[in-house]
Structure 1
Amino acid sequence: MTQPFILETRGLTKEFRGFTAVDDVNLQVQEGHIHALIGPNGAGKTTVFNLLTKFLPPTRGEILYRGKPITGMKANEIARLGLVRSFQISAVFAHMTALENVRVALQRPLGTSFHFWKSEKSLAPLNARALALLDEVGLADYADVLTVEMPYGRKRALEVATTLALDPTMMLLDEPTQGMGAEDVDRIVELIRRVARGRTVLMVEHNLSVVSRLCDRITVLARGSVLAEGDYASVSADPRVREAYMGSEAAQEETHA
């Protein structure tokens, strides 16, 4: 039996002063899948993400989450439903420790996010959960380290931890491995695989190796429209995709295969 779609768009369109950035996109994400949105620069991937997470209103079209329309909802409302964009709740407090950053994220649902004047004793009940989240993303040893002093890849892992603090059912990851070296990429791939258990993930990602290793299904955008969709093997073999997106990258992969 086919799994239900947890997230779906119907005719999703976004125009900017006559320029169509997203053109009639019909996206269907199955529950429990890791689904990638890929495409060349300017394909509309980030705009789609901004539409899904309510940073932008669509010109036309509909967004459904668990079969219910969420097109007119606000970002905080869909977050409460369990649809959370990672790095939307970022670890932006550079001079706070990793533990303190996660603890602030845990306070958000309680409506006390910025009650920095609260005593350490009153915040203590959140520490155990914060430490568990840090352990889940491989940062147990960084609990007392200031964020500003953490390596880039570990900061991205911390941002995932702050997102997990909202207990998401579905996570949207915007280029989670961007700017990383191979070692950090491998670490983040394993992190995503781990946190995806029991959740759905939709991710924008340029690194094709990451996509091939992680994703159940891939949607390829080009010029704002869906060009192809399927698993990695079928999408990577599609000549339209190779021409529009993979190009030299695909050729390089074949050369080194």
Structure 2
Amino acid sequence: MESQFVLETRGLTKEFRGFTAVDAVDLQVRQGHIHALIGPNGAGKTTVFNLLTKFLTPTRGEILYRGKNITAMKASEIARLGLVRSFQISAVFGHLSVLENVRVALQQKLGNSYQFWKSERSLHALDEQAMQLLAEVDLESFADTLAIELPYGRKRALELATTLALDPVVLLLDEPTQGMGSEDVDMVVALVRRAAVNRTVLMVEHNLSVVSRLCDRITVLARGAVLAEGDYDSVSANPQVREAYLGSEAAAVEAQP
């Protein structure tokens, strides 16, 4: 019987020399959801991401993808299955154009792996697909711009496009709006919402306004363990969550029109 969860952890634990960074985390991400992982600094969010994408090996516990146990798989195998971590796996080359960056990512997906010596004609065969991906992140008009010349928010959009080129089933976003002003945040929220169509998204995000606007479900971590889970309204009203993480910040978000 196929699992109702596209991504799941059971008792996921990571210890470092006696320190438990992730403590028996049970995470269940439904197909088609945008699911947020939040918590205070040191709560274990990034460690969970590193375990899911096999940059770290669990001390104990299991990771299941579409009901299949992938705990022992390598990072490259995980990515080929469609579990892709944005802003980590995606490669942006500053002195290539925006279009060329996406074309390189498409080469990787096709197994051509950065064959820069291939003929221009064969590479241009990927241009139509690359332009479609640029349209998905509103970068069509920047196709000929060098990546290094892009504003910060647009550069993050390009990173998202190169990740989408890998055709992810589950897209893991690690703080996609970090360091952005409100205008760029609004742009990235719109892009993530668009990228989530026919995909599942798991994201670590500190901006609670972003979480409230985007996410179907939220898991709150504290000291490496799951403190609460639910939709934004239920999680933000939880006294333990407010004490551990949200506090006055949640009140500020709730007060926004």
Alpha-carbon spacing, 1:15–1:185, altered in 2? closer, same or farther (3 Å): same
Instruction: Give the corresponding residue for 1:199.
Output: 199
Tell me, yes or no, if structure 1 residue 85 matches structure 2 residue 90.
Answer: no
TM superposition shift of 1:250: 1.9
Tell me, yes or no, if structure 1 residue 211 matches structure 2 residue 211.
Answer: yes
Instruction: Give the corresponding residue for 1:166.
Output: 166
Matched-pair contact (CA < 8 Å) for 1:13–1:22: yes
Matched-pair contact (CA < 8 Å) for 1:89–1:162: no
Instruction: Give the corresponding residue for 1:150.
Output: 150
TM superposition shift of 1:116: 1.1
Instruction: Give the corresponding residue for 1:71.
Output: 71
Tell me, yes or no, if structure 1 residue 234 matches structure 2 residue 241.
Answer: no
Structure 1 stretch displaced more, 196-205 or 104-113: 104-113
> TM-score, with normalisation over the residues of structure 2?
0.96
The C-alpha deviation readout for 1:223-256, integer Å capped at 9, x for no partner, is: 0000000000000000100010112312333565
The residue type equivalent to 2:92 in the other structure is V
The C-alpha deviation readout for 1:202-232, integer Å capped at 9, x for no partner, is: 0000000000000000000000000000000
The root-mean-square deviation of aligned C-alpha atoms, in Å, is: 1.2
Tell me, yes or no, if structure 1 residue 99 matches structure 2 residue 99.
Answer: yes
- Correspondence list, 1:1-257, <5 A: 4-254=4-254
The gaps in structure 2 that reach 5 residues or longer are: none
The residue type equivalent to 1:190 in the other structure is A
TM superposition shift of 1:129: 0.4
What is the percentage of aligned positions where both structures have the same residue?
77
Structure 1 stretch displaced more, 243-252 or 19-28: 243-252
Matched-pair contact (CA < 8 Å) for 2:174–2:204: yes
TM superposition shift of 1:113: 2.3
Structure 1 stretch displaced more, 107-116 or 169-178: 107-116
The residue type equivalent to 2:38 in the other structure is I
The C-alpha deviation readout for 1:56-108, integer Å capped at 9, x for no partner, is: 00000000000010000011111111111111332331111110100000001
The C-alpha deviation readout for 1:175-206, integer Å capped at 9, x for no partner, is: 00000000010010010111101110000000
CA distance in 1, matches of 2:209, 2:256: 13
The residue type equivalent to 2:228 in the other structure is A
Aligned residues: 255
The C-alpha deviation readout for 1:106-126, integer Å capped at 9, x for no partner, is: 001222222112221110110
The residue type equivalent to 1:145 in the other structure is T
Matched-pair contact (CA < 8 Å) for 1:91–1:158: no
